[in-house]
Amino acid sequence: MLRIALDAMGGDNAPRNEIDGAISALRAANNRFEIALVGQERKLKSELASKDAGRLNLSIVHAEDVVSMHDAPAAVLRTKPDSSIVRALELHRDHVVDAFVSAGNTGAVMAASTLILGRIPGVSRPTIGSNFPNEQGVCILLDVGASVDCKPQHLYEFAVMGSIYAAQIFNCENPKVGLLSVGEEDTKGNEVTLAAMELLRRSNLNFIGNVEGRDILKGKAEVIVCDGFTGNIVLKFAESVTGLLKKKIKDYAAESLPKKIMAGIISGPLRKILGDMDYQKYGGVPLLGVNGVTIIGHGRSTPLAISNMILKAEEMALKKVNERIANALRPAVKQS
């Protein structure tokens, strides 16, 4: 039976949202996997006491320390060795569990995952990919922040990893790969993308060339690669769009009573329509390239998001995404 370690102390509302998410994931999955809640035992027990979770495959692994959003990511192994993040990743490294899920300090999860699990041979840098719902369905944009300054080879590796992820997780045969740039022609781009273009043109990926900012939501490619600086900014910008829209509707409602009523009529369906644009629904982003399955979520992850993250972790483990990445990048490394 597959086992997943959940950082029960990670999110802004931990351990409540974590425990609620774990319970709903196990219920949705008919108890087909086990979840180890990693964190302060006393807190977890007291939170669990009020839940009807007796028949679920839930266990508790004690970890005394809690990593906060203010802890320096690179130092966590040294400063908080008995934290839920470090303990859970050690369980994963030692094959006690098959995957790790956290809504905690993203930088710390990333750094500790890389240090404790190590990189897949052939991977220069792990990458975080984020799902973007678009007009055609969904695509993965990577990197969105793991690697701010990238070399062309890194972008090539992101493309390989993203392509495998999309094939397995989106069930998309031969996913189209685009290079995020400032124009469609091969000659458009910055120094790094122009050099990456050559690597990608020579690869055996289904590479469609440059894509532009507007092509992400149009759904022109299932996999879009960029450096982590650009990707992080686009992701955070995208996440803020519904905020502006809500503000505009509020301003509109404040203009008059009929407009207020209209805004009320609108808000129901609009919420439903915008639901699809809700990045949280997709529940967490994978850290690709490390020797294990790590799914990272927002600090403000809801129980639904936590549950989605757990189910995604299961899927990544079952579909052997990492083995496929290792196979794909091994020859490329010898070649270069």
Binding residues (CB under 8 A) for a copy of itself: these are: 134-135, 145, 148-149, 180-182, 189-191, 193, 212-218, 226-230, 232-241, 243-245, 247-249, 252, 259, 262-263, 265-266, 269-270, 272-274, 276-277
Choose between 32 and 248: whose C-beta lies nearer to a copy of itself: 248
Choose between 102 and 232: whose C-beta lies nearer to a copy of itself: 232
Virtual CA dihedral for 87, 88, 91, 95, nearest 10 degrees?
Answer: -160
Distance, in Å, from the CA atom of 317 to the CA atom of 319, rounded to the nearest integer, reads 6
Q: What is the DSSP annotation of 33-100?
A: SEEEEEE-HHHHHHHHHTS--TTS-EEEEE--B---TTS-GGGHHHH-TTBHHHHHHHHHHTTS-SEE
Helix, coil or strand: residue 283: coil
Choose between 32 and 218: whose C-beta lies nearer to a copy of itself: 218
Least Å from the CB of residue 235 to a copy of itself? 7
Q: Which helix (H) or strand (E) holds 285?
A: strand 285-288
Choose between 55 and 70: whose C-beta lies nearer to a copy of itself: 70
Q: What are the DSSP E strand ranges found in 172-253? A: 176-180, 206-211, 223-225
Least Å from the CB of residue 89 to a copy of itself? 23
Least Å from the CB of residue 195 to a copy of itself? 12
Least Å from the CB of residue 141 to a copy of itself? 10
Least Å from the CB of residue 307 to a copy of itself? 24
Asked if 6 contacts 36 with a C-beta cutoff of 8 angstroms, the reply is: yes
Choose between 184 and 315: whose C-beta lies nearer to a copy of itself: 184
